């Protein structure tokens, strides 16, 4: 009988110890309520010894685990219903688009007690906040803009704006990542939107090709202009040099004539005779010097005739 009493006492002590000791695992923080009131102490990983028999209620919260919340159209089969399913949003130009995505969040270690109070509805609050942000962003844009830029722009918008909204909820969570796995028009008009997208892509391709051709032609024209400018510049330089050479030669001959004229007054006549001799020689080569009486005129004898005519065969 005495042994039985000791056994009961030992079992009682073990049960007391079991209800008083809590093992907090790595990556967890504990929230302790004593008689229902929240304690300021937030035990870290290790053993926590509190009051036994349920006087202290310890809730362990994983602060390092990423929680995933789906938003938008979770079940694609709902799209076939007559009623607009969740995740079907109206754009600014009154077109419907279907969207599906997810938001990932973690619990802030220093605000674990806030999350503990609302842990059972945290996912729902985050999902509703994300859906509200998506609806606002899409409603402010036309369907073309939504479909073309939404997948790239919305994740960053979700992270920033959902974080702003959940701050007012006092959830104690941090939005880590967001993504869209689906952003498309409803199935009954999807083919039409795809055709429009293909047409716009073709237009863009043609515009790019036209721009490339225009750029190529502009470069060719610029190259031709530069080549013409270089040729004109070279020709002008050549002509300037030739004119300068002619002017220099003329200036030398003029100076020479002035010097010779000063010494011999008949120099000009001699120069004229020399020039006429050369001209007559050329005329003879061309067959223009014949019998003198062939050129007798009423005004006298003429042995010159210009322009030179070709020699008769």
Among 25, 46, 62, which residue terminates a domain? Answer: 62
- Same domain, residue pair 114 and 180: yes
Condensed to tens digits (0 to 9), the pLDDT of residues 243-282 reads 999 889 888 877 877 777 777 777 767 777 777 777 777 7
As a whole number of angstroms, the distance between CA 141 and CA 91 comes to: 6
Residues whose CB falls within 8 Å of the CB of residue 174, separated by 6 or more in sequence, listed in order: 105, 106, 107, 108, 163
- Same domain, residue pair 78 and 132: yes
Q: Residues 292-306: what's their mean pLDDT? A: 51
Judging by DSSP bridges, how do beta strands 88-90 and 28-34 pair with one another?
unpaired
Query: Residue 305 pLDDT > 60, yes or no?
Result: no
Q: Report in angstroms the alpha-carbon separations of 310 from 93, 128, 278, 302.
A: 89, 107, 17, 19
Taking alpha carbons only, the member of 16, 20, 14 closest to residue 43 is 20
- Same domain, residue pair 48 and 137: no
Condensed to tens digits (0 to 9), the pLDDT of residues 149-176 reads 888 899 999 999 999 999 999 999 999 9
Say if residues 69 and 103 touch (Cβ distance below 8 Å): yes
Q: In the chain, how many domains are there?
A: 3
- Same domain, residue pair 53 and 77: no
Q: Is the pTM of this model over 0.85?
A: no
Look at 81 and 21; give whichever has higher pLDDT: 21
As a whole number of angstroms, the distance between CA 118 and CA 165 comes to: 15
- Same domain, residue pair 131 and 35: no
Query: Residue 12 pLDDT > 70, yes or no?
Result: no
Look at 241 and 286; give whichever has higher pLDDT: 241
Angle subtended at Cα 179 by Cα 178 and Cα 180, rounded to the nearest 5 degrees: 140
**Residue 300: domain span:** 264-313
As a whole number of angstroms, the distance between CA 231 and CA 300 comes to: 54
Q: Residues 173-192: what's their mean pLDDT? A: 84
């Amino acid at each position: 009988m005495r042994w039985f009493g000791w056994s009961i006492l030992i079992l009682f002590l073990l049960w007391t110890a079991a209800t008083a000791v809590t093992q907090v695992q790595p990556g967890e923080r504990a929230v302790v309520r004593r008689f229902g009131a929240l304690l300021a102490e937030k035990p870290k990983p290790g053993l926590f010894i509190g009051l036994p028999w349920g006087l202290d209620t310890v809730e362990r919260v994983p602060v390092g685990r990423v929680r995933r919340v789906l938003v938008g159209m979770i079940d694609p089969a709902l799209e076939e219903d007559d009623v607009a399913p969740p995740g079907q949003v109206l754009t600014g130009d009154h077109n419907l688009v279907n969207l599906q995505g997810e938001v990932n969040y973690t619990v802030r270690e220093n605000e674990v007690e806030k999350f503990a109070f609302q842990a059972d509805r945290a996912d729902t609050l985050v999902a509703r906040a994300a859906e509200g942000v998506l609806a606002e962003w899409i409603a402010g844009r036309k369907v073309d803009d939504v479909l073309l830029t939404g997948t790239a722009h919305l994740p960053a918008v979700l992270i920033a704006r959902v974080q702003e909204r959940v701050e007012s909820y006092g959830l104690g969570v941090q939005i880590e990542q967001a993504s869209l796995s689906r952003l498309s028009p409803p199935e009954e008009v999807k083919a039409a939107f795809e055709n429009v997208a293909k047409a716009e892509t073709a237009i863009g391709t043609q515009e790019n090709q036209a721009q490339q051709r225009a750029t190529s032609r502009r470069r060719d024209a610029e190259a031709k202009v530069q080549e013409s400018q270089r040729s004109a510049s070279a020709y002008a330089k050549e002509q300037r040099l030739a004119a300068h050479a002619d002017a220099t030669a003329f200036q030398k001959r003029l100076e020479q004539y002035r010097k010779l004229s000063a010494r011999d007054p008949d120099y000009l006549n001699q120069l004229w005779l020399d020039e006429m001799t050369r001209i007559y020689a050329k005329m003879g080569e061309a067959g223009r010097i014949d019998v003198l009486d062939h050129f007798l005129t009423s005004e006298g004898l003429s042995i010159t005739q210009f322009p030179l005519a070709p020699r008769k065969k």
